[in-house]
Structure 1
Amino acid sequence: MKTLILLRHAKSSWDDHGVRDFDRALNPKGERAARTMGSHMRAIGLSWDYAIASPATRVIETLEQASQGYGRRIDPDWDRRAYLASAATLLELVHDAPVTADTLLLSGHNPGLEDLILLLVPDGDAKRDQVEIKFPTASLAVMTCDADNWADVAAGSCTLTTFVRPRDLDPSLGPDAD
């Protein structure tokens, strides 16, 4: 049995239109959401053996803030393939994870992370249905996968055990009013 943790980057800033997408930083709400999610990860006893993350600035800053909340540095393998990756590419990254790692933390972007959950978790799961509606920024998903090796993780082989959005922990981290 393997455990896969997905953490989407927190809310980033669109204030500087001259900054390329890869270099966009978190906004203050995103920083707070990432710290809150890190604290929640610690509170529920979530830990990992190995981590992979997109090297985009907003992911780097999300993991820095989550580390502050968690109280443990998240030191991933920064993999450029994770930047705006499709579910198929993310699954390749999962397949390439060290077999000795029982729990993998993967941090990156949508729609790839959301699509990966929808690929791995079979229809008919209430949490999956919530993810299908939206996997917001700084959201956390935890899946247990019926596999002894990461290379054997396949479509429909995982169970979504946890799905938490920042607004579930602090309503002020929900969507901004229009």
Structure 2
Amino acid sequence: MKTLYIVRHAKSSWEYKSVEDIDRPLKERGINDAHLMSNYLSETIKKPDVFVSSSANRALHTAIIFCHNFGYPLSNLYIKKQLYNFSDGYLVKTIKALDDNFDSAIIFSHDHGINTFVNKFGDKPIAHVPTCGIIGIQFENKHWKSIKKGKTVLIEFPKNHK
């Protein structure tokens, strides 16, 4: 069995007009939500075997907060430039390419790709995954490359923890 947790990056700031989209930082609310949700998750689930993040600043900062609160070494955090894409194609490719020695993974990515993925691969319809929302899906597969439809086992949004 494989278990996947997908985290949409925390709330980012649009305050800096001259900053490229990939470099947009988190807002204070985003930092607070990332701590809130990572603390909740670290008390609820077993630490995932691997942490993988988009290279975008907002996703990477969210991942770093989760790593810190899970006690996961930053040196083991995988950074995947291809996750900075707003379709589910690169998300699917990244997940299906995970090493089968990892039984669980947590991925930090972006809006449209996550929404499409969780509805295609999970068994519960989700209209919209908000910033710092977490979806957990279990797959009855031995190999990541074989995942198809899984069972949605976790749906958590920051508004439910405030």
TM-score by length of 1: 0.85
Counterpart of 1:163 (choices 152, 155, 161) is 155
Q: CA deviation at 1:121?
A: 1.8
Mapped to 2, the partners of 1:33 and 1:73 lie a distance apart of 21
The 10-residue stretch of structure 1 (84-93 or 33-42) with the greater mean CA deviation from structure 2: 84-93
1:113 Cα shift?
0.9
Could you tell me how far 1:85 is from its partner in structure 2? 3.9
List aligned pairs for 1:57-68, cutoff 5 A: 57-68=57-68
Count of residue pairs brought into register by the alignment:
161
Gaps of 5+ in 1: 123-127, 171-178
RMSD: 1.4
The alpha-carbon distance between structure 1 residues 46 and 140, as it changes in their structure 2 partners (threshold 3 A), is: farther
Work out which of the residue numbers 138, 141, 152 in structure 1 matches 2:135.
141
Q: Distance in 2 between matches of 1:19 and 1:77?
A: 24
Q: Stretches of 4+ moved more than 4 A in 1? A: none
Q: 1:163 and 1:3, CA in 2 relative to 1: closer, same or farther beyond 3 A?
A: same
Alignment of 1:24-173 (within 5 A): 24-73=24-73, 75-122=76-123, 128-129=124-125, 131-132=126-127, 134-154=128-148, 157-170=149-162
Gaps of 5+ in 2: none
CA contact (8 A) 1:50 1:103 kept: yes
Structure with the greater alpha carbon radius of gyration: 1
How far apart are the structure 2 equivalents of 1:21 and 1:137? 16
What is the Cα deviation at residue 51 of structure 1?
A: 2.1
Taking the aligned partners of 1:49 and 1:16, their CA distance within structure 2 comes to 35
What CA deviation, in whole Å up to 9, does each residue of 1:122-154 have, x standing for no partner?
A: 4xxxxx33x22x100001111101211000012
Partner secondary structure for residue 112 of structure 1: helix
